[in-house]
Amino acid sequence: MALAVGMRVLTRALLRPWARGLRAAPGRTGPAAGGGDGVRCFRSPRVLVEPDPAAGVAVVKMRNPPVNSLSLEFLTELLISLEKLENDKTFHGIIITSDCPGIFSAGLDLTEMCGRDPEHYAEYWKAVQEMWLRFYLSNLVVIAAINGISPAGGCLLSLTCDYRVLANNPKYAIGLNETLLGIVAPFWFKDTLVNTIGHRSAERALQLGLLFPPAEALRVGVVDQVVPEDQVQSTARSVMAQWLDIPDHARQLTKILMRKPTADRLLTERDADIENFVRFICKDSIQKSLHAYLEKLKQKKG
């Protein structure tokens, strides 16, 4: 138990000043969004939290339209929501899902990584690290109800969860496709994938930037279950009930036992990882690739 408490204190201490500032800002997070029985709940512009106090579960809906890209503000709101739920003893599990039809998350926000200054890149990368650490080490049971396409950072977010349920829709795909953008997934993205699907499959998936359609995603193990689209939420709820049946302290300690070595690698190399990212992203060739990719996305429409 001491280990679990220690990890919580550590991850809480890692909450950056930008997050604390936002938490204090009036109007950024509003009053209770529901949740009777004395359960305090909340909403924020990009994160909708639907509490089910009786079940000890909250559904966290990402709503950063059009594509739930993980901007600095959105990451901050997600982290604040997670922290609030972790600090509320009512909740033992969360289901993370999307409020944007057909899209779970388009991954990291490319506009945060293009045409900005090095200070911004450093701040953004710290927030991405924080998202990964906080979700990966959360003491809550975290289940991803993946109701849309989920490339790169979107896939990473789901890989931090304890269980992934994907909607069986041929339009959806999931994977770490960074190489297709001419960028390289950092070691902790890679480690998370290796821990999930094994070294050989991860190597192939990462080098080729594979985005797996549902059947393939299930076969390789990127997701744990594929179900008809209208059953994604109910399946996540019943899987949650199964996980919540396990004595909490034993489950939490086991989670930490499994994940701490991977998290420690980033925790001990965090500053160097930020420096590497900033150096990499500032390169002319990388900026050109990212600009070209964004342009291609924009031109797709017209």
Catalytic (active-site) positions: 108, 153, 177-178
Q: Segment near ligand LG6FSS7D (CB under 6 A), from 101-109, 130-138, 212-220, 261-269?
A: 101-109
Q: Which is nearer to ligand LG6FSS7D, 93 or 153 (CB)?
A: 153
Strands (E) across the chain are located at 43-44, 47-52, 57-62, 93-98, 102-103, 141-146, 148-151, 163-167, 174-175, 225-227
CA-based torsion, 205, 208, 209, 212: positive or negative: negative
d(CA 150, CA 299): 21
Q: Residue 151 interacts with ligand LG6FSS7D (CB under 6 A)?
A: yes
**Nearest approach, Cβ of residue 285 and ligand LG6FSS7D (Å):** 13
Residue 60 or 183: which CB sits closer to ligand LG6FSS7D?
Answer: 183
Please report, as residue ranges, which positions from 103 to 122 form the binding site for ligand LG6FSS7D (by CB under 6 A).
103, 106-111
The site that binds ligand LG6FSS7D (CB under 6 A) totals a number of residues, namely 27
Kindly report the number of other CB atoms within 10 A of residue 31's CB atom. 8
Q: Tokens 């201490």 appear where?
A: 13
**101, exposed or middle or buried, with CB in 10 Å at 0-12, 13-18, 19+?**
exposed
Region binding ligand LG6FSS7D by CB under 6 A among candidate stretches 7-15, 34-42, 151-159, 221-229? 151-159
Does residue 85 touch ligand LG6FSS7D according to CB under 6 A? no
CA-to-CA distance for 231 and 235, rounded, in angstroms? Answer: 6
Using CB under 6 A, which of 26, 27, 31, 66 touches ligand LG6FSS7D? 66
Give the residue with the Cβ less far from ligand LG6FSS7D, 86 or 99. 99
Residue numbers 226-245 binding ligand LG6FSS7D by CB under 6 A = none
User: Nearer to ligand LG6FSS7D by C-beta: 129 or 235?
Assistant: 129
C-alpha torsion angle, residues 196, 278, 293, 174 (rounded to 10): 10
Interface mask (CB under 6 A) for ligand LG6FSS7D, residues 256-295, using x and -? ---------------------x--x-------------x-
| Whole-number Å distance between alpha carbons of 273 and 258 | 22
Considering only 57, 58, 67, 174, the residue that binds ligand LG6FSS7D (CB under 6 A) is 67
CB 61 within 8 A of CB 97: yes
Biggest CA-to-CA distance, the chain: 57
Using the 8-state DSSP alphabet, how is residue 34 labeled? S
Q: What DSSP state is assigned to residue 142?
A: E
- Residues 242, 184 contacting (CB under 8 angstroms): no
Cα dihedral 150→155→157→158 (10° resolution): 90
Q: Which is nearer to ligand LG6FSS7D, 54 or 297 (CB)?
A: 297
298 binds ligand LG6FSS7D (CB under 6 A): yes
Binding mask 158-187 for ligand LG6FSS7D (x = CB under 6 A): -------------------xx--x-xx-x-
Binding site for ligand LG6FSS7D (CB under 6 A): 66-67, 69, 103, 106-111, 149, 151-153, 177-178, 181, 183-184, 186, 277, 280, 294, 297-298, 300-301
